[in-house]
Amino acid sequence: MSEHFKALVLSKKGDELIREVKNIEKSFLKHGDVLVKVDYSSINFKDALILKNGAGLVKEFPHIPGIDLSGKVVDSPDNEFKIGDEVILTGCRVGEIYFGGYSQFAKVKKEFLVKKPKGFSTKEAMILGTAGFTSLLCAFAVKAREEILLGEKVNEVLVTGATGGVGSIAVMVLSKLGCNVTAVTGKMDQSDYLKELGAKNIIERKELQNEPRLLGKSLWDGVVDTVGGVILANAISNTKHSGIVATCGNASDNKLNTSVIPFILRGIKLWGIDSVMVSKKRREFVWSQVEKLIDFSILNKRIKEINLQELIEEYPKILKGGVAGRIIVDPNK
């Protein structure tokens, strides 16, 4: 590798956060043991928060953000990973306390890496990224009603924030798993796209923004919620007996005003989804399911590819909810 390469570096000047694409040296990479030539990264809501102000997650500067990456191993001290192996990394506090994927090279701990299964490319891995990985975790949690709890079949499923990165892929995955998916969105002009992803029904977000009843109608066998707040409270209220509500986001609100009644009288399970500190064995399983559950020919229609410099201009749109589909980052562009 060249001794110099490009990376997006965050630094502090007083209270001001400076974002700039810089040429840095290999010695700048101070974490980990496996060196990866980064093919692609992605941008998630957490990335946008970090790029805005560090989000209270970055403790040391200068810092290279980017919580996802895919690429090829170029140096490894361990036989588990060999030169040329294609690898994926999501979560594991990379991009937060460890240097991340907004760089042409990344040096990471081997425990953080998963070998990319055959059947999709490193680019397609980042079309999913943390958002897609989280979607799969949510879908598997909802299906646990029949697979782990030995309950009735999961048929009717609600997905909130359905045009977002997590929600849109959750619609696709749950549809592939045989569920009738109802998508909730504030972007009704995206209805055709949601139907293409597999949504059977689409409802407007405002229908779930009223004050929730203690117990509403029994509508959903399962829920994937990406927004939190009153929408999540309404989803819980309208979930059927023994239903599972998988929650993974707080784009609307991080407060939840509900009661114990749905959990006691209907036996509802509220399943928090953390995509950061997931065991390596589980990460390997999730990525092994991608080929049969993801239709990249559909996702590719809504992909925007940008370089490191463009990333600085793009992240505020994520925070304003102005992006439908996925943005991937090519650090070599």
| pLDDT score of 253 | 77
Domain ranges of the chain: 4-116+295-329, 131-272
Q: Which structure tokens are listed for 96?
A: 């937060």
pLDDT top residue among 254 and 206: 206
Is residue 258 within 8 Å of residue 277, measured between CB atoms? no
**DSSP string over 232-270:** HHHHHHTEEEEEEEEE---SSBS-----SHHHHHS--EE
Closest alpha carbon to 142 in 154, 160, 130: 154
Of 27-31, 77-81, 92-96, give the range with the top mean pLDDT.
92-96
4-116+295-329 with 131-272: one CATH topology? Answer: no
- Cα 328 versus chain centre, distance: 12
Q: Assess whether pLDDT exceeds 70 at residue 2.
A: no
- Its pTM stands at 0.92
Q: Which structure tokens are listed for 262?
A: 């749905």
Average pLDDT over residues 121-126: 97
CATH superfamily of this structure's domain 131-272: NAD(P)-binding Rossmann-like Domain (3.40.50.720)
User: Tokens 């994926």, residue?
Assistant: 88
pLDDT tens digits, one per residue of 46-63: 999 999 998 789 989 999
- Cα 141 versus chain centre, distance: 15
User: Tokens 């975790």, residue?
Assistant: 137
pLDDT tens digits, one per residue of 181-220: 999 998 898 899 999 999 999 999 999 999 889 999 999 9
Domain 4-116+295-329 classification at class level: alpha beta
Q: Assess whether pLDDT exceeds 70 at residue 324.
A: no
The residue type of 197 is: L
Closest alpha carbon to 125 in 5, 49, 38: 38
